[in-house]
Structure 1
Amino acid sequence: MKTNQTYRFSVAPMMDWTDRHCRMFHRSLSKRALLWTEMVTADAVIHGDRSRLIGFNEAEHPVVLQLGGSEPAKLAEASRIAEGFGYDEVNINCGCPSDRVQSGRFGACLMQEPDVVADCVAAMRDAVSIPVTVKCRVAVDEDPPRETLFGFVDKVAAAGCEVFTVHARKAWLSGLSPKENRDIPPLDYDLVADLKAERPDLTIILNGGIKTLADSAEHLKTFDGVMLGRAAYQTPYLLAAADRLIETGEGDDTLDMDACLAALETYRPYMAEQLAAGWKLSSMTRHMMGLFAGQPGARGWRRTLSEKAVKPGADLSVLDEALRHVTEAVVPA
Structure 2
Amino acid sequence: MLSKSSSSGSDSDEQYIEPFSEKWFQPFVSIYPSFMASDPKLDLKADPNVDKGVPYLLGSGIIWDERGYVLTHPSVVNRFNRFLVRLGDGQEVMARFWYTNDAIEISVIKLDGNRNDWPMISTGDSKALDFGDRVLVVGNPRPGIRNHLTHGCVTHTRRKGSEIEGIHTKGIVMKSISYIQHMADVMAQDVGSALVDAEGDVIGLNVKQFALNVNVAIPIHMVETFFKKFTSVESGPTLGAELYWLTPELRQWLKQYRQVPDVNGVLIYNFLDNNNYHWTNTGVRKYDVITAINGSDVRSLDDLYRAVDELMISGVMNVVVNADGVVRRLVLQPTVGPQIAPSVCV
Q: Same fold (TM over 0.5)?
A: no
TM bucket, shorter chain:
under 0.3
Larger Rg: 2
Q: Could you say which structure has the higher helix fraction?
A: 1
Q: Could you say which structure has the higher strand fraction?
A: 2
TM-score (normalised: structure 2): 0.27
TM-score (normalised: structure 1): 0.27
